[in-house]
Amino acid sequence: MSDMPFPNTPRVDATDKVRGAALFCADDARAGMAHAALAVATIGRGYVLTVDTSAASAVPGVRLILTHDDFRDVKSAGFIMGGGYGFQSLLPMLSQAVAYRGQPIALVAADTLETATEAAALVQATYEAEPFSVTLDAPGIEIVNQADTPLKNFFPEAIAGDADKAFEEAPVKVEATFTCPPQHQNPIELIATVAEWKDDKLIVHEGTQNAEAIRHGLAVALGISPEHVEVISPYAGGGFGLKNSLQMQTVLAAVAAQRLARPVKLVVPRTQVFHDASFRPATRHHVRIGADRAGHMVAAIHEVDAQTSRHDLFPGEYASTSARLHGFEHFRGHERLVRTDVQTPGYMRAPFEHPACFAMESCVDELAYVLGQDPVALRLANDTAIDPISKLPFSSRRVADCLRRGAELFGWGARTMAPESMREDDGTLIGYGVATGAYPGVIVPTIARLKVTDDGGVVISIGGHEMGQGIRTALAAAVSRKLGVPAERIEAVIGDTRAAPQHLTAGSWGTASAIPAADAAAESMLTALRELASGDISASQTPAQILKAAKRSALEVEVQTKAPGQPDAIFDRLRSGLVSVGGPVYADFVTFSYIAHFVEVRIEPRTRRVRLPRVVSVADCGRVVSPLTAASQVRGGVVWGIGATLREASEVDPRYGGFLNADLAEYVIPVNADIGSIEVEFIDEPDFKFNSAGVKGLGEVAMTGVAAAIANAIFHATGRRLRDLPIRIEHLL
Amino acid sequence: MVATFDDAALQAETTVASTATASLQINVAVNGTPHTLTVDIRSSLLDVLREHLVLTGAKKGCDHGQCGACTVHVDGRRVASCLTLAAQVDGRQVTTIEGLSPRDGSLHPMQQAFIDHDALQCGYCTPGQIMAAVACVQEGHATSTEQIREYMSGNLCRCGAYVGIVAAIQDAAAKMKQV
Amino acid sequence: MRPFTYTKAATVAEAVRVVAAADRETRFLAGGTTLYDLMKLNVETPTSIVDINSLSELSGFDTSGSNELTFGALARMSDVAADPRLMREYPALSESLWRAASQQLRNMASFGGNLLQRTRCAYFRGGEPFACNKRNPGSGCAAREGVNRGHALLGGSSACIAVYPGDLAIALVAFDASIDVLGPNGQRTIAVEHLHREPGTTPHIETVLEPDELILRIRVPVTHLGRGSTYHKIRDRESYAFALASAAVAIRMEGDTVQDARIAIGGLATRPWRAREAEKALIGQPLTLLTARAAGDAALRGAKPTNDNSFRIELGARTVADALMIAKQRALAS
């Protein structure tokens, strides 16, 4: 195993992308394609009584209209976190029930997109409306203690010692409540499906993070064998958790394509994406930290209320990350799920870790001010090598290095402690804030096939999806280094159920899972090549030269890797398209990635706009396989943190249900002018305990802690503790 | 530009071209190639480029002029093709990402700069970013980081590649001048 | 989107004649950035469209006149924004253009069309099931008791509190601009300040224009206040967003004293809102943070908050005050 850092190499698919030649699902514009559009429910909950499709079907060019009468043979593929495949268990149009506003009630397919769109708008429905609840405190909600459900077997509460007693007895206490709004992932690529049947085989093109769940989910939904389903997804135009499972439109498009015996393209409009796919649920966090007078954190309690849907329990895993931020002696986490009448919320970049770190790291800053201690020093003094919950050692934990290096790069030493103590001559308030973030280190089973050919080609077929994080580039870098073949000659076939089983790519486990598999495949290939050459190969010989010398046109190897301690049966689960994660607590260690963010805010003296001229982020993600794309990942995570903290909230009108600001003008994600300098560094120390490549996850830890760093900087600038996201002008006037 | 408001001209009457059918014929040059197309009157330029001409570099992210992924040039100016009726480009020149670089396979300096500065991740907004970026330079709006940030704010990048995008534009702006 | 017929007008007179002869569901099409957008939402459902983009006589503008600046209704926002004379002599006008939308949309959107931009109220744009008197007269106003952080504080009625979202019109109102419109009965001139109607009981009728009247040009009287002007826009992000509060102000100073002042506010009212009381409060006073803030308060006098938007009274006043301080710098430098 090489212990050398990797060099900077360009993104391997960048040339196609800058040419507009990378083909996304909706770029399939073949002749003969039918276009589909959806009509959606306008009530917050209840039943569709009648669906009048007469006006829609009268539009010339309309070929098919499907309503709840047309799905009698279709069944739900289940909820991904309930042993199934869908983003929620509810598949629309299987019955007349309406669970939330925006749920599809009819599909129209036509020869052109214009016709389908026009006709879908002409579908008229009558309803029987029922009362509904869409906010955490609304009448009619139902609160479920997660620990009282079967979820406790998979997501046990993070508890160590007696946190309540220790908190009670602690001489220094801080306690606060934080809220995070519902937010939407909003990748710029809309969710979309192109479905086509060839004989009895269903071929689906879709930008996804989970081709295998689509394949198996379709098989369950349509009652066909998974052998008859292929899912192809070379590129996803951003995922961020939105595309982690079978979407509702996939099944609808597949059924329409079957009825029409024609390929069908269904691109879900942005407003419908807000309602017919997952989102980050609203949460409320009650945090208490107790410390001794020297600042040693003896106890922390983190209690969370998190929104879920009426029909599914979206598990909460908030406190299991906040527990790992510092060396708490005693800790108690507690999650309650609040059932509301929405589509099932789900995973949105750092789904639990962003809110959890916002709450805990804001509270730690409050503790620093109660103690009168520097926020960096307080964190350094509470570092630990031992996991507070399991009492196992961390496989690696370089958060102190992140803090020290970040403080140096940022110039933290120039900060004066008192709030409102730093300002420009014109009255602009300046604030410096710091926070750390953490994200669990998880690995999934991976099967890789590596093939070399005598023309110099190298193809690795492996589980994994490219949604911009750079997995293709990381795979090329890893295989290139092992085989001594230039990265541009290495083709990674990913996101394709024909090539290899495709586990969900999410949870920042992509690199930590795929790179060790790619490494192992390359090692196996080197062994096979040595055998082929009877052990007689020199370092300068390429695989192609060895093949030619041995008069072989190609050589292929297959390997499989999995998380430490996972049983071999996990590969069957992988092949079934089910989530098969291992970690972050392993038999003799615990793995988390860490990051420290330092931000400078500048706040206008009167109109109080908050600007972030610079951010410094130092990450501990183990070995960095693709430094260029990894740095971009971190910058992207910081941009997400800025958006989540200062911009984004999905607005809810309890009288109507659904989401109100359901477009990209009113749901304000950061624009170019919002972003200043973002300086990124890596500790780049491999964690070989975790896996053979020494890689830990990065994509999501990058976002964790940003919100707290900004909120802490705003406190430093203004003296105001703002505990409800997003922080906007009205909170600072 | 100086306006002339000749009242006589305002009162003059000439024939108008009226179309009362569901489709319409337009003549448009796309990436230098003239096309005569019969399009649905309701069609956006974006949908015609993508579904009729199979030029799928321009992307649909919002369909309402809110994201910039559909940016193309019409008569050398950047526009949101999703909010442009195809009928409006009759008689005009459209340039898409596919027509930005020479046919010999080399890259436009802006495309190369986007690679060099890793100014992209998922790549979905990238064609729109690059078309906007080229126009940003040509308009003279790439003279400072602040100006680039302002004039590139019509192109959302959810992956958050903004730092790289600004660096790429600064780099390419210098090279585009030399060309 | 519903089908419609499409006509390309070759002359101004023809455009007006065609629309006058057609039913009331006929629309002029200029840049299309509002009309086509709302057609995609089925909020605008014209049966017929008259494309006026070929009317080259409406596409120019002239900022060199000694009495007035003239802008053809089809002058594109981006072109006018970049006019060096306008940037120098009337920064508020230029800023109101380039701080709106994105360069892509400004390349498309016309000067005249921009004045008629329609509200961003989510209940208006969202269609079914939301009550909206503007979209569907008589259905009620969901915004009054709903999510109304961005809704109007001034000029609202029990029927509608939708904000007029434009920027350019705010600056034009500050500069006493007027428009020339042509209808079947000839030409008339309307002050931009009187172009937009308050919603009252008929929020679906947004301007005093008849459906068959076409804006020909916008005229701005030459003024010595131009150089000391700004359009200050506060929004939820740094760019590409609608105003939470904005102010177009222009002042002339003599020594420390304000000789003349124009103040109009945007993002806060149901129509472009000239704040004459604020102007009066300022004239003859020294311009300090204190007097600027007093002018801001005067501009927001009479504001009626709903659930979520009361902060914008304070924000609006501060925005006016900051705008005045920016304008002062410019006035003193000129």
Q: pLDDT band for position B5 (50/70/90)? A: very low
Classify each residue of C28-49 as buried b or exposed e, where b means 16 or more C-beta atoms within 10 Å of its C-beta: bbbbbbbbbbbbbbbbbebebb
Q: Which residue has the higher pLDDT, A646 or A4?
A: A646
For residues B125 and B67, the answer to whether their CB atoms sit within 8 Å is yes
Which range has the worst mean pLDDT, A104-113, B10-19, B69-78, C107-116? B10-19
pLDDT digits (tens, 9 = 90+) for A194-229: 999 999 999 999 999 999 999 999 999 999 999 999
CA-based nearest residue to B148, from A675, A640, A599: A675
> What's the pLDDT at B12?
39
Nearest residue of B to residue C41 by CA position? Answer: B64
> What's the pLDDT at B16?
39
Q: How far apart are CA C261 and CA A299, in angstroms?
A: 61
Residue of C120, C237, C307 to mutate for A, most A C-beta atoms under 10 A: C237
Listing DSSP states for A437-483 in one string gives EEEE--B--EEEEEEEETTS-EEEEES---SSS-HHHHHHHHHHHHH
Determine the longest span between alpha carbons in chain C, in angstroms.
Answer: 62
Burial class of A228 by CB neighbour count within 10 A (0 to 12, 13 to 18, 19+): middle
* Residue ranges of A 40-99 with Cβ closer than 8 A to chain C: 42-43
> What's the pLDDT at C21?
93
DSSP label of C269: B
pLDDT at C303 over 60: yes
Instruction: Find the Cα–Cα–Cα–Cα dihedral B53, B57, B62, B64, rounded to 10°.
Output: -60
Average pLDDT of chain C to the nearest whole number: 97
Which range has the worst mean pLDDT, A230-244, A588-602, B94-108? B94-108
Nearest residue of B to residue A32 by CA position? Answer: B51
> What's the pLDDT at B102?
85
Classify each residue of C70-93 as buried b or exposed e, where b means 16 or more C-beta atoms within 10 Å of its C-beta: bbbbbbbbbbbbbbeebbebbbbb
Chains contacting A with at least 3 CB pairs below 8 Å? B, C
* Structure-token pair, residue B81: 């093709």
For residues B93 and B152, the answer to whether their CB atoms sit within 8 Å is no
* Structure-token pair, residue B48: 């015609």
pLDDT digits (tens, 9 = 90+) for A697-727: 999 999 999 999 999 999 999 999 999 999 9
What is the identity of the amino acid at A712? N
Q: Nearest CA to CA, how far is B174 from chain C (Å)?
A: 21
pLDDT at B14 over 80: no
Average pLDDT over residues A505-534: 95
Average pLDDT over residues A600-622: 98
Average pLDDT over residues B87-100: 97
Q: pLDDT band for position B89 (50/70/90)? A: very high
> What's the pLDDT at A118?
97
Average pLDDT over residues A314-333: 98
The answer to whether the Cβ–Cβ distance between A607 and C236 falls below 8 Å is no
CA-based nearest residue to A275, from A180, A184, A141, A140: A184
| Phi and psi angles of residue A264, each rounded to the nearest 5 degrees, phi first | -125, 135
**Ranges of H-type helices in C77-145:** 77-81, 84-89, 91-98, 103-108, 111-115, 122-125
> What's this model's pTM, rounded to 2 decimal places?
0.97
Q: Which of A604, A660, A673 sits opposite C147 (nearest CB)?
A: A660
Q: Nearest CA to CA, how far is A97 from chain C (Å)?
A: 18
Q: How far apart are CA A468 and CA C306, in angstroms?
A: 43
Contact residues on chain B for C81, CB-CB shorter than 8 A: none
* Structure-token pair, residue A427: 């009255």
The answer to whether the Cβ–Cβ distance between C241 and A668 falls below 8 Å is yes
* Residue ranges of C 220-259 with Cβ closer than 8 A to chain A: 234, 236-242, 244-245
pLDDT digits (tens, 9 = 90+) for A46-56: 999 999 999 99
- Say if A122 is an interface residue toward chain C (CB within 8 Å): no
pLDDT at A271 over 50: yes
* Structure-token pair, residue A701: 């830890």
| Phi and psi angles of residue A225, each rounded to the nearest 5 degrees, phi first | -80, 140
> What's the pLDDT at B103?
81
> What's the pLDDT at A88?
98
Q: pLDDT band for position B21 (50/70/90)? A: low
Residue of B44, B78, B139, B162 to mutate for C, most C C-beta atoms under 10 A: B78
pLDDT digits (tens, 9 = 90+) for C8-48: 999 999 999 999 999 889 999 999 999 999 999 999 999 99
Phi-psi region of A657 (alpha: psi -120 to 50; beta: other; left: phi over 0): left
Classify each residue of A51-75 as buried b or exposed e, where b means 16 or more C-beta atoms within 10 Å of its C-beta: bebeebeebebbbbbbbbebbeebe
For residues A603 and A432, the answer to whether their CB atoms sit within 8 Å is no
> What's the pLDDT at B179?
60
Bridge partners for A98 per DSSP = A46
| Phi and psi angles of residue A118, each rounded to the nearest 5 degrees, phi first | -60, -45
Q: Give the rounded percent of residues in chain A with a pLDDT score beyond 90.
A: 97
pLDDT digits (tens, 9 = 90+) for B125-174: 999 999 999 999 999 999 999 999 999 999 999 999 999 999 999 999 99
Query: Of all helices (H) and strands (E), which one includes residue A614?
Result: strand A610-620
- The span from the first CA to the last CA of chain C, in angstroms, equals 51
pLDDT at B9 over 60: no
| Phi and psi angles of residue B120, each rounded to the nearest 5 degrees, phi first | -160, 155
Listing DSSP states for C176-205 in one string gives T-EEEEEETTEEEEEEGGGTBPP-TT-TT-
* Structure-token pair, residue C61: 């503008």
Average pLDDT over residues A124-137: 98
DSSP label of B51: I
pLDDT at A31 over 70: yes
Phi-psi region of C219 (alpha: psi -120 to 50; beta: other; left: phi over 0): beta
pLDDT at B63 over 90: yes
Listing DSSP states for A666-730 in one string gives TS----GGG--EEEEEE-----TTT-TT-B---TTTTTTTHHHHHHHHHHHHHS----BSSP-GG
pLDDT digits (tens, 9 = 90+) for C182-228: 999 999 999 999 999 999 999 999 999 999 999 999 999 999 999 99
Distance of CA C186 to the CA centre of its chain: 25
Residue C131 CB coordination number (10 Å) = 18
In C211-288, where do the E strands start and end? 214-221, 229-235, 243-254, 257-266, 273-274
Residue A272 CB coordination number (10 Å) = 22
Q: How far apart are CA C248 and CA C265, in angstroms?
A: 6
Q: Nearest CA to CA, how far is A5 from chain C (Å)?
A: 38
Average pLDDT of chain A to the nearest whole number: 97
> What's the pLDDT at A2?
54
Spatial CB neighbours of C259, under 8 Å, sequence gap ≥ 6: C251, C252, C253, C283
Q: How far apart are CA A113 and CA C1, in angstroms?
A: 10
Average pLDDT over residues C140-166: 98
pLDDT at A309 over 90: yes
> What's the pLDDT at A364?
98
What is the identity of the amino acid at C216? L
Residue of C85, C104, C106, C236 to mutate for B, most B C-beta atoms under 10 A: C104
Mapping DSSP onto H, E and C, the string for A184-239 reads CCCCCCCCEEEEEEECCEEEEECCCCCHHHHHHHHHHHHCCCHHHEEEECCCCCCC
